[in-house]
A and B are shown apart, each in its own frame.
Chain A
Amino acid sequence: MESTISTTKKPGLTVNDAFASHFAKSMFLTVAGLAILTFIGTRMFTHIDLNLYGYMVGTIVFIGGFFYRFIAWGERPPTKIFIKKGLKLLFRKSTPKTTTEQLVTYRFIWERGVYRWMQHILIGWGCVLACLVTFPLVFSWMYFTMKENGYYTIVLFGMNVMNVKAEGIIAWFSYNALNIAAIMVIAGVCMVLYRRLKNMQARAEQTFMYDFLPLYLLLFISITGLLLTFQNMVLHGWMQPQMSLIHQFSVIVTLIYLPFGKLAHIPFRPMSVFARNYREHYSEQHMKECKVCGDQFVSVEQSSDVIQVLGVNDIEFNMNDGFNLAELCLPCRRKYRISRFSGVATHQVKVKEANQNANG
Chain B
Amino acid sequence: MKKRLYLELENCIGCRSCLAACTQCGGHEERNRNYVYDVNPLVNRQTMPLMCLHCVNPACARSCPAQAIQIHETGAVLSALVEKCIGCQNCTIACPYGIPKFDTEQNLMYKCDLCIDRSKDGIPPMCASVCPTNTLQWLTDEEIEAKQKQFNLDNGKWVTSMPYLEGETNVRVNLPGILQGVTKLF
A residues sitting closer than 8 Å to B (CB atoms) are 73, 76, 78-79, 81-82, 102, 108, 111-112, 200-201, 204-205, 262, 265, 268-269, 271-272, 274-276, 278-279, 298, 302-303, 305-306, 309-310, 313, 315, 317, 325-326, 328, 330-335, 337-338, 340-344, 346, 349, 351, 353-358
Residues of B within 8 A of A343 (CB): 179
The listed residue with most A CB atoms (<10 A of its CB), out of B16, B31, B98, is: B98
The residue of chain B having its C-beta at the shortest distance from the C-beta of A324 within the complex is: B96
Query: Interface 1/0s, chain B 33-67, versus A by CB < 8 A?
Result: 00111111110001010100000010100111111
With contacts A200-B26, A325-B96 taken as known, whether A338 is within 8 angstroms of B39 at the C-beta atoms is: yes
The listed residue (B32, B40, B107, B173) touching A344 by CB distance below 8 A is: B40
In Å, the complex CA distance between A339 and B95 comes to 17
Interface SS, B side: loop
The listed residue (A108, A298, A326, A341) touching B176 by CB distance below 8 A is: A341
What are 6 A-B contacts with C-beta separation under 8 Å?
Answer: A204-B117, A317-B59, A337-B97, A341-B48, A342-B176, A358-B22
A310 contacts B63, C-beta separation under 8 Å: yes
Interface SS, A side: helix
The residue of chain A having its C-beta at the shortest distance from the C-beta of B31 within the complex is: A357
In the complex, whether B139 has a CB less than 8 A from a CB of chain A is no
The listed residue (A79, A200, A204, A358) touching B32 by CB distance below 8 A is: A358
In the complex, whether B27 has a CB less than 8 A from a CB of chain A is yes
A201 contacts B96, C-beta separation under 8 Å: no
In Å, the complex CA distance between A357 and B19 comes to 7
Besides the known contacts A317-B166, A356-B32, 12 further A-B residue pairs in the complex with CB atoms under 8 A apart: A112-B108, A205-B27, A205-B117, A272-B87, A275-B86, A276-B87, A306-B63, A328-B98, A346-B40, A349-B41, A353-B37, A354-B36
Q: How large is the interface on B (under 10, 10 to 19, 20 to 34, 35 or more residues)?
A: 35 or more
A309 contacts B84, C-beta separation under 8 Å: no
In Å, the complex CA distance between A356 and B37 comes to 8
The listed residue (B32, B50, B106, B117) touching A338 by CB distance below 8 A is: B50
B87 contacts A341, C-beta separation under 8 Å: no
The listed residue (A204, A305, A330, A338) touching B48 by CB distance below 8 A is: A338
B97 contacts A349, C-beta separation under 8 Å: no
In Å, the complex CA distance between A79 and B166 comes to 24
A272 contacts B86, C-beta separation under 8 Å: yes
The listed residue (A108, A326, A349, A354) touching B105 by CB distance below 8 A is: A108
Query: Interface 1/0s, chain B 77-113, versus A by CB < 8 A?
Result: 0000011101111101111111100010111100000
In the complex, whether B20 has a CB less than 8 A from a CB of chain A is yes
Q: How far is the CB of B168 from chain A (nearest CB, A)?
A: 12
In Å, the complex CA distance between A275 and B173 comes to 35
Query: Interface 1/0s, chain B 148-186, versus A by CB < 8 A?
Result: 000000000000100011110000010010110000000
Q: How far is the CB of A283 from chain B (nearest CB, A)?
A: 11
B37 contacts A338, C-beta separation under 8 Å: yes
In the complex, whether B23 has a CB less than 8 A from a CB of chain A is yes
Q: How far is the CB of B167 from chain A (nearest CB, A)?
A: 7
The residue of chain A having its C-beta at the shortest distance from the C-beta of B84 within the complex is: A265
The residue of chain A having its C-beta at the shortest distance from the C-beta of B93 within the complex is: A306
A315 contacts B9, C-beta separation under 8 Å: no
